[in-house]
Structure 1
Amino acid sequence: MSGNDNTVNIKNEGRRYHHGDLRAALIEAGLEELQTKPPEEVSLREIARKAGVSATAVYRHFPDKAALLGALCLIGAEQMTAAFRDAMSGISDPRKAFEAMGRAYVRFALANPSLFRMLMTHKLEEGTPWNARLGELDKALSGLLPEQASDEQRRVRQLQAWALVHGLAMLMLDGQVPADEALIGQAVRVYFA
C-alpha cells in the first residue's frame, strides 16, 4: 500500500470484501440463507458473517430480523413477478399466457421453498388488500374475463386461480403429491381449459 492510499481491504475467507453497498450484500446473504433454512432459522449473525461484517453492522440497515425478512420478501416478490413475466413473454393467447403463469407460480415455489413460504406468510402493511400480491395475475386474468365482468366476479376468479396454484404448490412442497412437471401442466391446464 502506498503512503497516499487511504483504502482498506477486509478479507473474509479468502475473498476481498469491499463495502460498496452493505444493504445489498446483507440481502444477498439473506437470500442465500433462505436456500437452506426456513425463515425462522435465518440468523442475523450468520448473514453478517457471510457478508463479511460484524453482527452489529446489520443494524445500520435493518433494526431487527423482521425488517431484514421484510426486505427479503420484497426481493422475493420481485423475483416471482419476473418469473411470471418471463413465463408469459411471447405468448399472445391470453389463456395460454395465464396457464404459463400458473405453472411459473408452482415452479417458483418448488425452486425457492423457504422464500416462497415466507412470501405467503409475511404480513402485509395495514390496509393493503390481499390481492395486492397478485398484480400480474390480475393483468393476465383481465384478458380472459368478459369486459362486463363485475369487480366481484374478477375478485372471485382471481381467488379461485390463486387457490388452485397455491394449493398445488403447497401439496408438492409438503410431499403430498409428487413435484412432477407433467402433473403441474395437467392440473393448471384442466382448470383453465
Structure 2
Amino acid sequence: MRRTSYHHGALRGALLEACLRLIETEGLAAVSLRRVAREAGVSCGAPYHHFADRAALLAALSVEGFRGLAADLAAARDSAATPMAQLTALAEAYVRFARNHPGHFRLMFRPELSQSEKHPDAAEVGDAAFAVLTDTIAACVAAGLLPAERADTLAVAWWALAHGLASLGVDGQLDKRRMQLCTDTATLVDDIMRAFTALLAPR
C-alpha cells in the first residue's frame, strides 16, 4: 500500500531505510531514486526533496553507517582495560558492525563515495571513525607498547586486517573457517588480533 505523505523529517529516514533494504536484498545495482521511492511507498518525485541524485542518497547512507561504526568503536575502546586490549576490542567491534549492518558496510567504502570534494560529510565521518583507531594506537605508543615511528603504518595495517576479517564475515567465509577450527567468531578474531599485536610490540 502506497504511503501518500510523510512528515518532512520522517520522509528522509524512510528513504534511507528503503535504500538500505534494497542493498541488503538485491544489491547496490538495484538502487535508483525511482526504485527507492517505490520501496518507501511515495511518489517518484519525493526523494528529490532530500537528495539531488542517487549518489547523494548513497552518500547519506554512508554517513549514517560511519556514524554507527564510530560509535561502536568508541564504545568498544572504552570497555577495554588497557590500550592493547582496546585494539583487540576495536577489531571485534569492526567485525560485529559489518555482520550486523551488511548493507551499510558494503556501501561505506566505495571509492566514489569517499571523494572528499564530492561528499565532504562522508569523508569527514569516515575520518572520525578512523581517528578512534589512531587515538588508540597513540595511547599504545604513549604507554611504550608500540614504536612511535611505525604508528601511522600500524594503523593502516590494523585497518587492513580488521576490514579483511569483517569482509570475510559478511560473505560468510569467517563462519566457515571458525567452524572448521571449532571456535566462535569473537574468539577467532581475538586470537588473530592478539597474534598481530604481539608481532608489533617493541623488542
Structure having the larger proportion of residues in helix = 2
Are residues 1:61 and 2:50 paired? Answer: yes
- The answer on whether the counterparts of 1:48 and 1:54 sit within 8 Å (CA) in structure 2 is yes
How far is the alpha carbon of 1:16 from its aligned partner? 8.8
Match of 1:125 in 2: 116
Match of 1:108 in 2: 97
- Structure 1: stretches of 5+ with no match in the other structure: 1-11
Are residues 1:135 and 2:131 paired? Answer: yes
- The answer on whether the counterparts of 1:37 and 1:114 sit within 8 Å (CA) in structure 2 is no
Among 14, 27, 31, the residue aligned to 1:42: 31
Distance 1:90 1:123, change over 3 A: closer
Give the structure with higher Rg (CA): 1
- Which amino acid in structure 1 is aligned with residue 7 of structure 2? H
- Which amino acid in structure 2 is aligned with residue 136 of structure 1? V
- The answer on whether the counterparts of 2:77 and 2:87 sit within 8 Å (CA) in structure 1 is yes
Match of 1:4 in 2: none
Match of 1:7 in 2: none
Match of 1:178 in 2: 175
Identity %: 35
C-alpha separation in 2, matches of 1:39 and 1:119: 12
- Structure 2: stretches of 5+ with no match in the other structure: 177-184, 199-203
Distance 1:57 1:189, change over 3 A: same
C-alpha separation in 1, matches of 2:39 and 2:168: 33
Match of 1:188 in 2: 193
C-alpha separation in 1, matches of 2:166 and 2:186: 12
Deviations 1:62-110 (A, max 9, x none): 1111110000000000011111122223333111122111111111112
Match of 1:158 in 2: 155
How far is the alpha carbon of 1:147 from its aligned partner? 7.5
C-alpha separation in 2, matches of 1:173 and 1:113: 6
Distance 1:142 1:69, change over 3 A: same
- The answer on whether the counterparts of 1:106 and 1:165 sit within 8 Å (CA) in structure 2 is yes
Are residues 1:28 and 2:17 paired? Answer: yes
- The answer on whether the counterparts of 2:33 and 2:44 sit within 8 Å (CA) in structure 1 is yes
Match of 1:145 in 2: 141
Secondary structure, in 3 states, of the residue corresponding to 2:71? helix
**TM-score, normalised relative to structure 2:** 0.74
How far is the alpha carbon of 1:160 from its aligned partner? 0.9
C-alpha separation in 1, matches of 2:28 and 2:162: 22
Secondary structure, in 3 states, of the residue corresponding to 1:143? helix
Matched residues, number = 179
- Which amino acid in structure 1 is aligned with residue 57 of structure 2? L
CA RMSD of the aligned region, Å?
2.8
C-alpha separation in 2, matches of 1:24 and 1:188: 36
- Which amino acid in structure 1 is aligned with residue 77 of structure 2? M
Deviations 1:118-150 (A, max 9, x none): 112233314969x82511111111111148965
Question: Map of 1:87-98 to 2, 5 A cutoff?
Answer: 87-98=76-87
C-alpha separation in 1, matches of 2:43 and 2:4: 15
Distance 1:101 1:66, change over 3 A: same
C-alpha separation in 1, matches of 2:74 and 2:25: 26
